[in-house]
Amino acid sequence: MTFMKNILITGGAGFIGSHVVRLFVTKYPQYRIVNADALTYAGNLENLTDIKDQPNYIFEKADICDTARITGLFENYNIDTVIHLAAESHVDRSISDPLAFVNTNIVGTATLLQAAKHAWKGQEEGKLFYHVSTDEVYGSLGDTGFFTEFTAYDPRSPYSASKAASDHLVRSFYHTYHLPVIISNCSNNYGPNHFPEKLIPLAINNILNKKPLPVYGKGENVRDWLYVIDHATAIDTILHSGKTGETFNIGGHNEWKNIDLIRLLCKLLDEKTGQEAGSSEKLITFVTDRAGHDLRYAIDSTKLQHELGWVPSVTFEEGLSKTIDWYLQNSSWLQHVTSGAYLDYYEKQYHESH
């Protein structure tokens, strides 16, 4: 069968990647989707059981730092489009192990760029390297203002510094080698399949297990939350309509102080599990702040909304309710990912024995 596009999606077994893979596999049967993922602690093929047998889907266990393996994928599948999501993604892990982030996020991105440059040399027409990045490259905001596509980069954690470096590499390949690229920088995602090292799924898991809810510092830090499926549809929109060489900010104008968000989660979970009102809030525990903790992120996505017409599909209340329902209905997924290595990570991060 001949496909209209042969798309390599990296990191497709992770949280956001699995939603992007599902959207493209189901919406575009005329595209072949090759999911290349190293299956680190964050990669989980259980995220994709519903689409794994689709005729336009292929999984390849591959490390993006492995030049021979990545070059082979471009050749074997005649790859014409890359959606690059593979990364080390958790800020706290980047504080304890920065080199893993330098390796995957910087060396891995450079390896992919080289492979694309080599494969597409002289035939760049119709090709696209789409790099998925984060709003954290812009640094930390005070109480007011928003990140726009023109905000200067000011990364402050090893994670955000490695993502900023990867963005710079992507732009450098555009200017130097005319590699067709697009970058998008998105705010905090939440939704089904979110690994419970991140705030929202960690809180849901801990509430369900009646464990303390660790709130860093005073809980005053602000994040701008977007439902993961809305990030996937933004990527779809930008990939098909965005201009090569451009950057798009993605966000839903949905800022929450951590402590307010945790209180809302407690309330919703009390309601949904039939517990006495106020019982989950008692689990809130203020703990030592994250080193270099960015105060506030807030995305201005006017360009994406006005130029390409993208809008988020759900309100935060709807998205959070769907997310909690997913975790309540997928307790075996949660059990699988919170056994073994997760317990060791949790003990090291929160100094709590289990």
Name the residues annotated as catalytic.
135-136, 159
Q: Is 238 in the site for ligand DAU (CB under 6 A)?
A: no
In the range 219-238, which residues lie near ligand NAD by CB under 6 A? none
CA separation for the pair 313, 319 (Å, rounded) = 9
CA separation for the pair 189, 198 (Å, rounded) = 10
- Say which entry of ligand DAU, ligand NAD, none residue 16 contacts (CB below 5 to 8 A, set by partner kind): ligand NAD
CA separation for the pair 21, 27 (Å, rounded) = 10
- Say which entry of ligand NAD, ligand DAU, none residue 215 contacts (CB below 5 to 8 A, set by partner kind): ligand DAU
Q: Is 34 in the site for ligand NAD (CB under 6 A)?
A: no
292: left (phi over 0), alpha (psi -120 to 50) or beta: left
Q: Is 192 in the site for ligand NAD (CB under 6 A)?
A: no
Q: Give percent helix, percent strand, percent coil of the chain, each to the nearest 5.
A: 45, 20, 35
Query: Residue 243 CB: number of other CB atoms within 10 A?
Result: 11
- Say which entry of ligand DAU, ligand NAD, none residue 147 contacts (CB below 5 to 8 A, set by partner kind): none
Residue by residue, DSSP assigns 239-275 as HHHSPTT-EEEE--S-EEEHHHHHHHHHHHHHHHHTP
For residues 297 and 223, the answer to whether their CB atoms sit within 8 Å is yes
| CA dist list (Å): 101 to 22, 163, 204 | 26, 9, 27
Q: Which of 35, 81, 89, 157 binds ligand NAD (CB under 6 A)?
A: 89
CA separation for the pair 267, 44 (Å, rounded) = 30
Q: Is 338 in the site for ligand NAD (CB under 6 A)?
A: no
Q: Which of 187, 247, 301, 323 binds ligand DAU (CB under 6 A)?
A: 187
Nearer to ligand NAD, 199 or 266 (CB): 199
Q: Which of 195, 227, 297, 346 binds ligand NAD (CB under 6 A)?
A: 195
Q: Which residue is nearest to ligand DAU (CB)?
A: 134
Nearer to ligand NAD, 103 or 279 (CB): 103
In the range 215-234, which residues lie near ligand DAU by CB under 6 A? 215-216, 221, 223
Token pair 């209209």 in the structure block, residue: 4
Q: Is 37 in the site for ligand NAD (CB under 6 A)?
A: yes
Q: Is 9 in the site for ligand NAD (CB under 6 A)?
A: no
Q: Is 47 in the site for ligand DAU (CB under 6 A)?
A: no
**3-state DSSP of 57-114:** EEEEECCCCCHHHHHHHHHHHCCCEEEECCCCCCHHHHHHCHHHHHHHHHHHHHHHHH
Q: Is 89 in the site for ligand DAU (CB under 6 A)?
A: yes
Q: Is 183 in the site for ligand DAU (CB under 6 A)?
A: no
Give residues in contact with ligand NAD (CB under 6 A).
10-11, 13-17, 37-40, 42-43, 63-65, 85-89, 104, 108, 132, 134, 163, 186, 188-189, 195
